[in-house]
Structure 1
Amino acid sequence: MSASAKKQRRPVVLLRPVPGPSVVHDLWAGTKLLVVAGIGVLMTFYPGWVPIGLVALLVFVTARLAHVPWGALPSVPRVLWFLLFLGGFTAFFAAGPPEVTIGSVTLGLGGVLNFLQLTALSLVLLGLGALVSWTTNVAEIAPAVAKLGRPLRALRVPVDDWAVALALALRAFPMLIDEFRVLFAARRLRPRDQIDGPRLRRWGIEVVDLLAAAITVALRRADEMGDAITARGGTGQISAQPSGPKLRDWVAIGIVTALSAVSLYVELLTPLATST
């Protein structure tokens, strides 16, 4: 393998499930959405180290069960590493407990620990969302959202329309990304026009050209998708597919519920016991 191939960055691949059957792939899409929503609420109110660690363990075990390869992880740009280092360095000056004394110098590590906790929380939530993307077919999202939102129909909430709009957005997103990549590659190969004037004016003209081409591509894709949906019976067929939880879904929900209960016990009851 050449050095250029080793340095080639792996792009971010989302909304495309990893091929191959697994226990996680067979779960109902609504179960995965409920799990993500529940863990998101838990992390919002109790973002401690124990919940973060337990959810990270859940993400790792789920990824192994889903047979997600390491190659699916995107490459981390060097700019992001620099920003993380800069954020940790600036957070160091916030000080705060716990404190470490080195000779006659006392250093507060509270700011650094808070920054690390926030970074770990962000990584865990990103990994959780990526797992749903890598193990769920886009066509399964709309029926799951329509079924989960069925109680809202009594309030005359257009749940089916929302589910269809979400499904179409998720379907169009990967296609538009591919189209934009091809568009940008073609733009680089195109000879640049010799435009007199400041550099900012030349950049403005190129941005306008790219936006016009992107809008044209999006409209063309939308027209093709509309024709395909009409040929298959309309938008109502998108959210009308039968879907629902099975025994494995209730088992998964039970495991996540137990995990959340342990996290709440550690976050709430343990500090009370130590204070008394």
Structure 2
Amino acid sequence: MVLLRPAPGDSPIHRMWAGTKLLAVFIFSVLLTFFPSWASITLVAVAVGVAIRMAGVPRGAVPSIPRFLWVLIGIGAFTAALGGGDPVLSLFGLDVALGGLLTFTRITFLAVVLLALSMMVSWTTNVADIAPAIATLGRPLRLLRIPVDEWAVTTALTLRSFPMLLDEFRVLLAARKLRPHPQSLTRRKRIRQAFFELTDLLAAATTAALRRADEMGDAITARGGAGQITASHAGPAARDWIALSVVAVVCVVSVLLF
């Protein structure tokens, strides 16, 4: 999965304020939590699809689905179908209850829509713009003495660390595969060797993470401290208000059709 790295391009979605996208994700998530109907899911899916189309996200950025996940989905659909429920379909004299299967399909589609919504934000938003947007959106919470800036900095550092750590882990796994493996071992020795290799791999991954954290800390200090991460004068523009209006229309229509 290619996430936390903006897709190349310059579109109205790319130029939109990061806070607007975060608000859209939050509003749509709340909407689908309390009104998880087919109409709501379909409307949100259409809105997300139009946004991805406007952003010009290349097809190669869409993650491929592994085979084992299809197997898990099939097993889940089969077990859900055993639950029965309305509606009931008659086939060759047999009554087949499709309620459980339809519920499972709706929940799966809901998860896919929320995942696509999150990926759309990831593909069109620079990671450096997330922390200032969170600090701006959480400004009213400062009256309650909630450390909004610290939360924003933590979120920004977490998002920036994911790509680096993924690259480090890929290098470690590639180096592990290059190590020779003796073939004349018993099953017990192979299991023991795999356990030791896993322990070494976790230790190496922890060391790499600590080294990256130390380098990032030095870089933040050299650039003026953590306060500079949330320092930004960006805010909503006309396109952002239009986008929020579309989100509001989708929410109102979804509630009316529920």
Compute the TM-score of the two structures, normalised by the length of structure 1.
0.90
Secondary structure of 1:25 counterpart: helix
Equivalent residue number for residue 162 of structure 1 = 151
Equivalent residue number for residue 23 of structure 1 = 12
Question: Is residue 192 from structure 1 mapped to residue 181 from structure 2 by the alignment?
Answer: yes
Amino-acid identity (%) = 57
**Partner AA of 1:163 in structure 2:** A
Equivalent residue number for residue 217 of structure 1 = 208
* Bigger relative contact order, structure 1 or 2 (CA pairs below 8 A, ≥6 apart): 2
Q: CA deviation at 1:193?
A: 6.7
CA distance in 2, matches of 1:182, 1:170: 20
CA distance in 2, matches of 1:209, 1:192: 15
**Partner AA of 1:135 in structure 2:** T
Secondary structure of 1:198 counterpart: helix
Question: Is residue 180 from structure 1 mapped to residue 169 from structure 2 by the alignment?
Answer: yes
Equivalent residue number for residue 138 of structure 1 = 127
Secondary structure of 1:115 counterpart: helix
What do the CA deviations read for 1:27-51 (whole angstroms, capped 9, x no partner)? 1110000100000000001110000
What do the CA deviations read for 1:251-276 (whole angstroms, capped 9, x no partner)? 10000100110000000xxxxxxxxx
Question: Is residue 113 from structure 1 mapped to residue 102 from structure 2 by the alignment?
Answer: yes
Unaligned runs of 5+ in 2: none
**Partner AA of 2:192 in structure 1:** R
Equivalent residue number for residue 220 of structure 2 = 229
Q: CA deviation at 1:157?
A: 1.0
Secondary structure of 2:90 counterpart: strand
Q: Structure 2 residue aligned with 1:255, among 205, 224, 246?
A: 246
CA distance in 1, matches of 2:229, 2:181: 44
1:211–1:193: structure 2 CA closer, same or farther, 3 Å change rule? farther
Secondary structure of 1:24 counterpart: helix
Unaligned runs of 5+ in 1: 1-11, 268-276
- Alpha-carbon RMSD across the aligned residues, in angstroms, is 1.3
Secondary structure of 2:96 counterpart: strand
What do the CA deviations read for 1:212-265 (whole angstroms, capped 9, x no partner)? 100111111111111111111111000012121111101100001001100000
Equivalent residue number for residue 206 of structure 1 = 197
Q: CA deviation at 1:158?
A: 0.9
**Partner AA of 1:219 in structure 2:** L
Equivalent residue number for residue 273 of structure 1 = none
Question: Is residue 171 from structure 1 mapped to residue 168 from structure 2 by the alignment?
Answer: no
Secondary structure of 2:229 counterpart: helix
Secondary structure of 1:60 counterpart: helix
Q: CA deviation at 1:86?
A: 1.3
Q: CA deviation at 1:70?
A: 1.1
CA distance in 2, matches of 1:89, 1:15: 34
CA distance in 1, matches of 2:97, 2:127: 47
Secondary structure of 1:106 counterpart: strand
What do the CA deviations read for 1:169-226 (whole angstroms, capped 9, x no partner)? 1001111001100110011012237888533321210111001100111111111111
Secondary structure of 2:15 counterpart: coil
Question: Is residue 266 from structure 1 mapped to residue 250 from structure 2 by the alignment?
Answer: no
**Partner AA of 1:63 in structure 2:** I
Compute the TM-score of the two structures, normalised by the length of structure 2.
0.96
CA distance in 2, matches of 1:160, 1:19: 29
CA distance in 1, matches of 2:109, 2:39: 11
CA distance in 1, matches of 2:140, 2:81: 49
